[in-house]
Chain A
Amino acid sequence: MKRLAGPLAAVAVLAAAPAAYGQAQVQAVDGTEANHYENQWSTKRLTIRAGETVTWTFTGSTVLHNVAARGSWTFRNDDPKVAPPPASFRFDTPGEYRFVCEIHESSMWGDVVVTDASGAPPPPPPPPPLSEQPWLNDQPAPTRFDVSDERRPRVSRVRVARVRNGARVRFRLSERARVRVRFKKAGVTVKSARRWFGAGAHRLTVRDRRMGGAYRVEVVAWDRAGNRSRTTRDRVSIR
């Protein structure tokens, strides 16, 4: 029931039905895209005294509707139509009466509670068996659809040293990641190497006879979830 409170409150305020003594009015309210086309009655539960009349109106409705009884009483205005004329029923016996629109029964239902002349509520009807009581799903929608590793790997202590015909890059990784080392000269990548490493201190040696000169070295790492580390740089001069 809790889930219904929001839309119902809105509908009930909209209803603004005239409260002339002796009769009450229920209006058919078409569903909109915003409420997933849930057609409803303006009032889900109304209380009247025995001898009073309830009128169902369909003014302005553009969807096929009718009104019919469910349970122990009989009433039906007509086959479903677009905006049929109002239909009335006089309730003479205290009790609870369920009314529905036959083609929108899942959402378009309501109850008339008929009290006696003194206004004392009728004895509550016996509760329906468990197999007829709705058990509404009380769970909200999950708010996170993607729980994944969003922590960037960290590359630290990058030191590049010259070796024969190349360079040795030392670094430290915070987690298992794929490391890319680039040797750049005047902004152009001359040599590049990629490899997977576990967490901890590592070294990667790159050799190439044609690699003489001064380089800027960039080290970047990606973990398995695709998170990228910051770029860490150092310089080296290779003979």
Chain B
Amino acid sequence: MIEEASASPIVPEERAAKETLPDRKTVIDTVNNISERFARHVSPFAERQNKGEKLSYFEAKQLADFNIFKAGRARLMGGDKPLDDSIEKDTFATDFAAYPELAWAGDKFKMEEGIPVEGFIDFVRGEIFKLETDEKAIGEQSPATRKSIRDQITQRNKELDLLMESSKRYPEIHDVRGQKFETRKQLEAYWTHIDPLRERFSPYYKGAGETDQQGDWRQAEVALWNRRELKIPKKAETIVPPITPEPGVTATPEPEMTRIDTTRPESGRIWKVIRRIAPILPIPWLVANCIHSSPQYPPSDAPFVPMPENYIGGAPAASATPPVNLDYLPPLMGGGSGSSSEWDGSGQQPSVLVPGATQDSVSLPPDRPPAQPVVTPGKDAGDITGGYKPPPLDNNNGQGGFDGGRNAPGVI
């Protein structure tokens, strides 16, 4: 039997944060409150689903999220009932043996997992968004209503903070490498496959030539990677008082941490995190490229809206950097991209991607013309290109000695 991955060692930052963690009762009550609201919210979707009606993307996602939470809670509580103070632990055993296809793994792999709450977090965020939209719509017309909405927003934000502080990412508490994780993915892929709601999301991850099964598999990987498990404080360790050394006694220094800090930015710190990453991440570029790797824009025809190679956050930097060798890019990047040498912020395209080509081998296939922007009803890609006509491709465009980011810090 493979042992369950041990929890991350406590790092000083976590220890400091622990002093302000919510207590056990608050966590349980809050989760129960949210689950009641969530259940009311998705019950019409479930009814329509049972009648065979088609749900919208978000309806299906929310219903699937709630079902995933409910299944985890039922495993923990021994039935479909709210959390209560009687529970001794916040994890349950994942039982492979219950599924004939995975029965072989039943004795070999055992895992303790917590209740998935990532769907809860999305639900509360959706509530906050809805309330904020309402608040804006009301404006200054009705101060009393506006105050009521503002109070609800405050309450929801508190719940969101609590959920973030009381949950941990799956990769933080489980080993996501090796055969054990592969087997766990297989189980998740199986659940995805048999659940029509979750099966629906699989096409998002289906690349060219991939089968349904591979789509399920990738969906499972992403689901686990995105998962957050509820951590309910134990009765004895609800609040850890700060350690204050007695007068005259020198406090023992914190031991040197040899492990990298995997503390996840919690919601109370998220704004600081955002301020750190905002100047670094090329959000306009990411948005533009994500749109064009969307299923609505198949990679084979996707127009490419480039940003400068050296674009970092704000204005383009003066010196160009070597481009990435796209051979090393993971498949989720959607088949590569082009490159450009200049960008004036106008959204015009100075270059265009050859469909299906890597940057190392940018050349036109003999039997097909250069890619043209795809125009889809309702999503006019022509607007994005601003009527741009792609110039002849430069075979040397983007060549360089860069190693594809393999030696970049933090890239595994």
User: Is this pair of chains taken from one and the same complex?
Assistant: no
List chain B positions with a Cβ less than 8 A from chain A.
none
Q: Which residues of A contact B (CB under 8 A)?
A: none
